[in-house]
Structure 1
Amino acid sequence: MSQAQQKPRKERKENAERRRRQLLDAARRSILAHGLARTTLATVAAEAGLSQGVAVFYFQSKGGLLTETLRDLYAQYDALWSGALERAGEDPVERLRAIIRADFHADACGPDILPLWFAFWGELRSTPEYDAVAAGFDARRRAALIGVWQALMADAPAGEAGQMADWMETLTDGYWQRLHLAPESFERAAAERASRVCIARLHPPLAGRIDRD
């Protein structure tokens, strides 16, 4: 294939990726503005400044678009915490601190992100496509957390690392809910700090290590 033929193909791929990104970002804005139920291919296309036909071309249906929007939301969160974990090195305490820090980053639970999480989570039980997306990402995250806790609790009975991972996820979910429902009275920095203090109390050997500022 000649260079002249390769360039248009590359440009078409880049244009397709750009349009897809436009529509996914527009879907988020539509959900924030109209709610999940009232978001349609038409509202998303309008937000993106594109025709509804373009949205249909890339996602076929409202369900397909919203499922991919949820997948994109999870993928960005996955990249956030897994990147933080990788940069933390091998010390399990630093790895745990890195995950907690990532959990309360604006890209994970900022005011334009939390409403999206709760909109989709409210539909998980009634929308198998959403549930399948969430289950895949949640399984990867739980496995990573268990790995960190196993390194911290090498001599603990089997299953305790999983229990700590579950408690940690429940703690994060609870603080995300508080940040979502009462953002004027609670801040992400306070939630991060409180999470570290709570985890140190759940696992006393971490006191003075994970809860330090």
Structure 2
Amino acid sequence: MSREARRAQLIASTIETLAARGYSRITLTDVARAAGLSHGLVLFHFESKERLLAETLNFLAEEYRQNWQAALSQAGDDPAEQLNALIEADFNPAICTPSRLAAWCSFWGEAQSRPIYQELCGDKDDAYNRQLEDICQRLSDAGGYGHVANRVARVIRVSIEGTWLDLMTMTAPYERDEALSTVRTCAALCFPQHFTPDGLRHDRPREAGLR
């Protein structure tokens, strides 16, 4: 394998190992075993466990950023379609996998990972939150809802994160489609003229200048 392909293989194995063992218990030996490689080869590519975990987190964060930005770029100018695209992006089967959800939760849940998380993900999180708040503001204006946009955006974001946690931790988890419908229900409660639990309303009002 090329250097890039081998590093990608090891990051994929780290995601799976994080899901199985958690942040505090993971070792380079665990990752090497999952990848079918030697401990020394993992060290050759990443130098330390801390470096490997940082690179894995950076990979997840960049994958997530590219996913929602790609979805948004295809949604057009209608804020309702943009919000729907952001919601659907979080349940993209390529992103919303059991191992990825568990890996994210490992980083979120460990106090020792927070400085790394803020360094690698803080700006990306801020960009996402600003985008979501802007969409909610425009959608509130289009429907005359009078919402405080940052609070509505927070409610929707917390709903998404809550269903992610459910999908990972519940004894009998519901399916990804049910999680998506749950978040759409949240959007419908906030923007009833635009959303139903099944998705966008066809008779929704439009932002000024849009047909």
TM over 0.5: yes
Whether 2:44 is the aligned partner of 1:57: answer yes
**Structure-2 change in CA distance of 1:40 and 1:185 (3 Å):** closer
Alpha-carbon distance between aligned partners in 2 of 1:188 and 1:34, rounded to the nearest angstrom: 23
**Structure-2 change in CA distance of 1:144 and 1:124 (3 Å):** farther
Alpha-carbon distance between aligned partners in 2 of 1:174 and 1:100, rounded to the nearest angstrom: 13
TM-score, length of structure 1 as denominator length: 0.82
Q: What secondary structure does 1:37 align onto?
A: coil
Query: Which of the pair is proportionally richer in helix?
Result: 1
CA displacement, residues 53-108 of structure 1 (integer Å, 9 cap, x when unaligned): 33223222101101111111121122221111111122211111111111122233
Matched ranges for 1:16-35 at <5 A: 16-35=3-22
Please, which of 106, 111, 115 is the counterpart of residue 93 of structure 2? Answer: 106
Once the 2 structures are TM-superposed, how far is the Cα of residue 38 of structure 1 from its aligned partner?
2.4
Please, which of 27, 43, 58 is the counterpart of residue 40 of structure 1? Answer: 27
Alpha-carbon distance between aligned partners in 2 of 1:212 and 1:197, rounded to the nearest angstrom: 12
Q: What secondary structure does 1:107 align onto?
A: coil
Residue 10 of structure 1 corresponds to which residue in structure 2?
none
**Structure-2 change in CA distance of 1:166 and 1:139 (3 Å):** same
Whether 2:169 is the aligned partner of 1:181: answer yes
Whether 2:159 is the aligned partner of 1:171: answer yes
Q: Contact between 1:107 and 1:113, CA under 8 Å: does it hold in 2?
A: no
Once the 2 structures are TM-superposed, how far is the Cα of residue 29 of structure 1 from its aligned partner?
2.0
Whether 2:128 is the aligned partner of 1:137: answer no
Please, which of 64, 68, 79 is the counterpart of residue 66 of structure 2? Answer: 79
CA displacement, residues 112-148 of structure 1 (integer Å, 9 cap, x when unaligned): 2211111111115654112322322211211221222
Of 90-99 and 202-211, the range deviating more from structure 2: 202-211
Unmatched segments (≥5 aa) in structure 2: 203-211
Alpha-carbon distance between aligned partners in 2 of 1:175 and 1:34, rounded to the nearest angstrom: 22
Alpha-carbon distance between aligned partners in 2 of 1:65 and 1:158, rounded to the nearest angstrom: 46
Whether 2:184 is the aligned partner of 1:196: answer yes
Residue 6 of structure 1 corresponds to which residue in structure 2?
none
Please, which of 147, 150, 156 is the counterpart of residue 134 of structure 2? Answer: 147
Alpha-carbon distance between aligned partners in 1 of 2:82 and 2:137, rounded to the nearest angstrom: 12
Higher relative contact order (Cα pairs below 8 Å, separated by 6+ residues)? 2
- Letter aligned with residue 120 of structure 2: V
Identity %: 35
Once the 2 structures are TM-superposed, how far is the Cα of residue 157 of structure 1 from its aligned partner?
10
Once the 2 structures are TM-superposed, how far is the Cα of residue 183 of structure 1 from its aligned partner?
6.0
TM-score, length of structure 2 as denominator length: 0.82
Alpha-carbon distance between aligned partners in 2 of 1:66 and 1:107, rounded to the nearest angstrom: 20
- Letter aligned with residue 166 of structure 2: R
Residue 11 of structure 1 corresponds to which residue in structure 2?
none
Q: Contact between 1:125 and 1:131, CA under 8 Å: does it hold in 2?
A: no
Alpha-carbon distance between aligned partners in 2 of 1:140 and 1:183, rounded to the nearest angstrom: 34
Q: Contact between 2:27 and 2:49, CA under 8 Å: does it hold in 1?
A: yes
Residue 150 of structure 2 corresponds to which residue in structure 1?
162
Q: Which structure has the greater CA radius of gyration?
A: 1
Q: Contact between 2:14 and 2:31, CA under 8 Å: does it hold in 1?
A: yes
